[in-house]
Amino acid sequence: MQQRSTLRQRLIAILVTGVGATAAAAISFGVTVYEAAHPRAVPVVPAGEPIDTGRWNITFQAAHSGPVPPTGVEPSESKKFVLVEFDATNLSAATGFVSPTLFTVDPPVPNLPAPVFYLARDKWIASGLNPSMPERMIAVWEWPQALALPETLRLTVGSQIYKRRDNLYGASSWFDRDPIAVVELPVSRDGAR
């Protein structure tokens, strides 16, 4: 008799656990499907307003185009550049480089190489930025010759999160997350700012 009630209790416990796990999986699946069908709108942020991306605090200032990169050295072949000035502050505890995927041209332009980042004060390619020291930077895209320069440049700003331990290697790092903002900048021609 004692053994029968113990067996019954085990079966009830297994049944309750199975029903609970199935309900949790169904709710999780339902929330995932709902969020995929109804994504949150990414806010449009005006130029001059700071954007906290997790690892960086960036403020877009202006965009312009021209035939010369920030170094002032004219290329041997004719090229078109789109330049975006922005302020960047490293919010992490270590020196870091601005990732070329931190903000991207939206919609994507075919055959557009990744931007090169310059320090505005030196007019030279940027090195790592120290924590909590704001820097004016210039992101430079070499625009494809076959395409017209844009009147307005739309940038999608990504975000990053710090994890002390990732799920794969158990190491700490910064990981990309969903876009958090969109910025639209009018592009002035040939440095006429």
Each residue of 161-191: pLDDT tens digit?
A: 888 888 888 888 888 888 999 999 999 987 4
Supply the mean pLDDT for the chain.
Answer: 91
- pLDDT band of residue 3 (cuts 50, 70, 90) is low
Domain that holds residue 16: 1-39
Distance CA 67, CA 78 (A): 7
What percent of the chain is helix, strand and coil (3-state, nearest 5)? 20, 40, 45
The pLDDT tens digits for 18-77 are 999 999 999 999 998 988 888 888 899 999 999 999 999 999 999 999 999 999 999 999
Q: In the structure, what pLDDT confidence band is assigned to residue 2 with cuts at 50, 70 and 90?
A: low
pLDDT, tens digit (0-9, with 9 covering 90-100), for 85-128? 999 999 999 999 999 999 999 999 998 999 999 999 999 999 99
Domain count across the chain = 2
Q: Which amino acid is at 179?
A: P
Same domain flag for 75 and 160: yes
The pTM score is 0.79
Q: Indicate if the pLDDT at residue 1 is higher than 80.
A: no
Same domain for 166 and 91, yes or no, is yes
Task: Please report whether residue 8 resides in a domain.
Answer: yes
Residues 14 and 83 in one domain: no
90, 131 Cβ separation under 8 angstroms:
yes
Residues 93, 136 within the same domain: yes
Residue 126 pLDDT: 92
Question: Does any domain span residue 177?
Answer: yes
Instruction: Convert the pLDDT of each residue in 129-173 to its tens digit.
Output: 999 999 999 999 999 999 999 999 999 999 998 888 888 888 888
29, 86: one domain: no
Residues 16 and 61 in one domain: no
Q: Could you give the 3-state DSSP secondary structure of residue 72?
A: coil
Query: Would residue 193 count as lying in a domain?
Result: no
Q: Is residue 45 part of a domain?
A: no
